[in-house]
Chain A
Amino acid sequence: MELGPYLILGLLEGLVTAAVLSLMAVGLSLVFGVMRVVNVAHGEFFMVGAVLAWWIAGAVDGHPALGFVAALLLAPPLTAGLAMMADQLVLKRINYDPERTIVATIGLLYIIQQITLMTYGPEARPVEAPFNHRLSIPFFEWTDGGLTLSWPWGLGTTSYKLAVIGAAVILLTAIWLLMTRTRYGLLMRATQLDSETAQAFAIPVGRVYASVFGLGAGLAALGGVLIVPIQQAHYLMGHDPLLLSFIVVIIGGLGSLPGTVVAALLIGISDGMISVFFSPTLAKIIATLAVAFVLVFRPQGLFGKRTL
């Protein structure tokens, strides 16, 4: 096989990464946009989602799909509840002061990680996918004998991976509709623009904050549930996606949803491509430095309008 197949494989893997990443990054971006909170514990909510998925799926008997659906329905709300509790107990009481929230969320990160380690343990555990057919991708190639079709051998992916991509598209559309078409979205946007004026207009800013923090965590947890059949749940799994979603949110422009999705595609696919062709570590170094320089020279991000 030549270059082409690797490109397609890199693209597919990249799209799966982008799907999960965009869910997580949209959550991070919502929390930052509305509450001005940099949530360092966001990666832990992703991990909690995955770990809960393993637990729930294990508790349900019968076909693996039943367990997975139960996890999909239960894990995100549970994680959202945990986040809302953290918001009420900690973030609210320090008045969402930017520097202190960073320290507090670092504290949360440690606590969540350690509790997971003590209860769930250090092993990585898989959840069985609800369906997992091997799919072959037909691929045409010029060889000495003219145009040949390599199928059904060679390139393959699984139906589950395609479903993850589809699920992310549906969920992101739902979030966009929620933000632009509902009363709740209106309240959120009003709070985002000017929380004091919103308060003066009798918008319950405190409750909006709590629900946005929960929503953000729930989205991260959803990403976590979707990834366990591919990647397994592990108590340290939140670290890399956290950094990646920081990268995505910053490149996309803090608080800009379309920018976040475009940036997730950009980062996910380039991460997939560079990892296929070069070293993954090098890919990460380049991406990290790129973000640092975007922030240094264009603090509002590629799509953002507001300055930090």
Chain B
Amino acid sequence: MSDLKKSWTLHLSIIALLFGLQFFLPAYHHGNLARIMVLTCYAMGYNILFGYTGLLSLGHALFFAAGMYGLSLSIQHLGWMAGPAMLAGLLAGFVMALVIGLLLLRTAGVAFMIVTLMFAQAGFLTVLYFGELTRGDEGFVIQQELRSIAGIDLSDPTSRYFAALLLMAVCIVITLHVVQTGFGRVLVAIRENDERTRMLGYDIQRHKLAAILLSGTMSAAAGAAYGLLFGYAGATFASVQYSIFPLLWVLLGGAGTVLGPLIGTLFMFYLIDLSSNLTTAYMLIAGLVLLALTLFAPQGLVGEIRRRGLRWLP
């Protein structure tokens, strides 16, 4: 089998496995997995920028929240149906990524990180400032009867699971396609050495902008889906914490691997879930894991697997 075939087979069988799992999982883990799959889309969006293009953003919550509030505000205040509202969320993320992206192109390195952090913080404060619309920290619940597309009630656990799986499958296919085509290769080349890539004649600014747009829109899709599937929007999702999470998940799973975000999110979610049975100190565990990762497995779980054998993993 060629490497290309191997990787498509692997990824499609993982999607099939998750499809099959839904019939066996107990309700608790069933619900967890739906949540994890939505968050994985967020991490996958983050991974395109951080893992493949090498741009460390500390403000991705801005895009997640753009999607979430694009959806929830248009349902809540404009009375839109869930379908168009979902598109509104995607559009909000895309426009945000375009505006911020054009500004970000002027920065590099540490400045890039701090500027993304600052814009996200401004976004978070804006959500708090317009508390009458967004209800700030407290957030608001999206009514159950408003959460259906084409007659499918997305608050029902089974359809919620399928919706999350569908979204994640789309994200996996997009990422796989991107990284196997010329565009993705150029992104990796920019990550490895942007000067050399420019000298080879590639327009690195245009490629970076495209990566930001794809990454921001994917994160916004995750944010919108989170709002729709779990029926809640609040300022926490725009806070610094939610900018750090995808970084953590991606690093844990393996930056620059297609499956890394899924493995990382799954691992971290259950690490916190299981450890919070023993202790409430999940932040301590998250912190220790972060330190351990930077010290011992800079390539993440899937990254280590790739390094030690499966060289063909995309």
Interface on chain B toward A: helix, strand, loop, or mixed SS? helix
**Alpha-carbon distance A117/B280, docked complex (angstroms):** 10
Assess the A308–B125 pair: CB atoms within 8 A. Answer: no
A109 on the interface (CB 8 Å rule)? yes
Q: Which residues of B contact A247 (CB under 8 A)?
A: 118
B1 on the interface (CB 8 Å rule)? no
A11 on the interface (CB 8 Å rule)? no
Q: Which residues of B contact A281 (CB under 8 A)?
A: 125, 128-129
A201 on the interface (CB 8 Å rule)? no
Q: Which residues of B contact A107 (CB under 8 A)?
A: 286-291, 294
Assess the B107–A296 pair: CB atoms within 8 A. Answer: yes
**Alpha-carbon distance A241/B120, docked complex (angstroms):** 17
Q: Which residues of A contact B113 (CB under 8 A)?
A: 38, 102
Q: Which of A17-25, A165-173, A283-291 contacts B (4 or more CB under 8 A)?
A: A283-291
Closest Cβ–Cβ distance, residue B201 to chain A (whole Å): 26
Q: Which residues of B contact A109 (CB under 8 A)?
A: 287
Most B CB contacts (10 A, CB to CB) among A115, A247, A288 go to A288
Most B CB contacts (10 A, CB to CB) among A107, A279, A285, A299 go to A107
**Alpha-carbon distance A243/B121, docked complex (angstroms):** 9
A-B pairs under 8 A by CB, number: 108
Assess the B295–A110 pair: CB atoms within 8 A. Answer: no
B96 on the interface (CB 8 Å rule)? no
A202 on the interface (CB 8 Å rule)? no
CB contact between B56 and one of A102, A115, A296 (< 8 Å): that residue: A102
Within 8 A of A (CB), among B107-131: 107-111, 113-115, 117-119, 121-122, 125-126, 128-129
Q: Which residues of B contact A279 (CB under 8 A)?
A: 129
Within 8 A of B (CB), among A73-98: 90, 93-94, 98
Q: Which residues of B contact A295 (CB under 8 A)?
A: 107, 111, 114-115, 118
Assess the B284–A38 pair: CB atoms within 8 A. Answer: no
Within 8 A of B (CB), among A100-159: 100, 102-104, 106-111, 113-115, 117-118
Residue of B nearest to A293 (CB): B103
Within 8 A of B (CB), among A200-241: none
Q: Which residues of A contact B286 (CB under 8 A)?
A: 107, 110
**Alpha-carbon distance A248/B247, docked complex (angstroms):** 26
Assess the A110–B283 pair: CB atoms within 8 A. Answer: yes
Closest Cβ–Cβ distance, residue A48 to chain B (whole Å): 14
Assess the B283–A113 pair: CB atoms within 8 A. Answer: yes
Q: Which residues of B contact A110 (CB under 8 A)?
A: 283-284, 286-287, 290
CB contact between B103 and one of A100, A282, A296, A308 (< 8 Å): that residue: A296
**Alpha-carbon distance A250/B56, docked complex (angstroms):** 18
**Alpha-carbon distance A89/B246, docked complex (angstroms):** 25
B178 on the interface (CB 8 Å rule)? no
Assess the B114–A250 pair: CB atoms within 8 A. Answer: yes
**Alpha-carbon distance A289/B290, docked complex (angstroms):** 29
Closest Cβ–Cβ distance, residue B150 to chain A (whole Å): 39
Assess the A99–B56 pair: CB atoms within 8 A. Answer: yes
Q: Which residues of A contact B251 (CB under 8 A)?
A: 103
Assess the B125–A292 pair: CB atoms within 8 A. Answer: no
Q: Which residues of A contact B4 (CB under 8 A)?
A: none
Assess the B129–A308 pair: CB atoms within 8 A. Answer: no
Assess the B129–A282 pair: CB atoms within 8 A. Answer: yes
Closest Cβ–Cβ distance, residue B53 to chain A (whole Å): 13
Assess the B294–A103 pair: CB atoms within 8 A. Answer: yes
Closest Cβ–Cβ distance, residue B269 to chain A (whole Å): 16
A246 on the interface (CB 8 Å rule)? yes
Assess the B115–A288 pair: CB atoms within 8 A. Answer: no
Residue of B nearest to A118 (CB): B281
Assess the A106–B122 pair: CB atoms within 8 A. Answer: no
Are A108 and B298 also in contact (CB < 8 A) when A285-B126, A308-B110 are?
no
Complex A-B: 26 CB contacts under 8 Å: A94-B295, A99-B56, A102-B56, A102-B113, A103-B251, A103-B290, A103-B294, A104-B291, A107-B289, A107-B291, A108-B287, A109-B287, A110-B287, A110-B290, A111-B291, A114-B281, A114-B287, A118-B284, A282-B129, A285-B126, A288-B125, A291-B118, A292-B115, A295-B111, A296-B115, A308-B109
Interface residues of A (CB under 8 A from B): 38, 90, 93-94, 98-100, 102-104, 106-111, 113-115, 117-118, 243, 246-247, 250, 279, 281-282, 284-285, 288-289, 291-293, 295-297, 299, 308
Interface residues of B (CB under 8 A from A): 56, 58, 103-104, 106-111, 113-115, 117-119, 121-122, 125-126, 128-129, 244, 247, 251, 281, 283-284, 286-291, 293-295, 298
Q: A99-B56, A106-B287, A109-B287 are in contact. List 4 more A-B contacts (CB 8 A).
A: A100-B298, A246-B117, A292-B118, A293-B103
